[in-house]
Amino acid sequence: EVQVLESGGGLVQPGGSLRLSCAVSGFTFTSYAMSWVRQAPGKGLEWVSGISGSGDISYHADSVKGRFTISRDNSKNRLYLQMNSLRAEDTAVYFCAKNVWTTTFYFDYWGQGTLVTVSS
Amino acid sequence: EIVLTQSPATLSLSPGERATLSCRASQTISSYLAWYQQKPGQAPRLLIYDASNRATGIPARFSGSGSGTDFTLTISSLEPEDFAVYYCQQRLSWPITFGQGARLEIK
């Protein structure tokens, strides 16, 4: 059974940093690209960042480019999102999502999300 | 960036009726489109990928069609559990983008 579990969310001041983690199990982690998708309160879905199975290729939305970094540790079956220079508009539930196939960016398994609140 | 525009924003129907939701892309995306369902407090659920293929475990009442710039999600006969928010998503080019969502509510 595939399991996806995010952690690391919380309250942070504007300009601060936070590192999200996603622990996965039930599939061969190295074979699948992964992404972070966020949802601001009462709003729609926004893709944030994606990374290849090997971790050598990553992509970021323009809204987070230069501030957020996606990474993975395939030895630990974990995905990360390092978030720096946080802004109020980064407040959202952050979901970790698995690709349907190795490099096909549709998402078939999602975690329940972790809430990040940026406020003073 | 490819913009996806969903319509209508809200659709009010009764159980047993047919629902049709639309997604229009700002440029051609071939068939690289997915549909998701999201209920309050839950993660999205993949329904349809590559415009017309049902994901694993999705009931046959859900179908998708379209290519190029215009796409449709059809629910042939609404069940009570189908009332939710639906999103389309393209994977043709970076950044991956979602539509703004369409709410399907009980009339």
pLDDT, tens digit, 9 for 90 and up, residues A18-35 = 999 999 999 999 999 999
For residue B88, the distance in angstroms to the closest alpha carbon of chain A comes to 10
Cβ contact A47–B91 (<8 Å)? no
Please tell me the predicted confidence (pLDDT) of residue B98. Answer: 98
Contact criterion met (CB below 8 Å) for A20 and A9:
yes
pLDDT of A104 strictly over 90: no
The string over A40-77, giving b where at least 16 C-beta atoms fall within 10 Å of a residue's C-beta and e elsewhere, is eeeeebbbbbbbbbebeeebbbeebeeebbbebeeeeb
Q: Note whether A93 and A114 are within 8 A (CB).
A: yes
Give the pLDDT band (50/70/90) at residue B76. Answer: very high
Q: What is d(CA B22, CA B5) in angstroms, rounded to the nearest whole number? A: 8
- Taking only residues 1 to 60 of chain B, the set having a beta carbon closer than 8 angstroms to any beta carbon of chain A reads 1, 34, 36, 38, 42-44, 46, 49, 55-56
| pLDDT score recorded for residue B14 | 97
The predicted pLDDT at position A103 comes to: 81
**What's the average model confidence in pLDDT over A43-62?**
96
pLDDT at A101: 85
Is it the case that residue A96 has pLDDT exceeding 90? yes
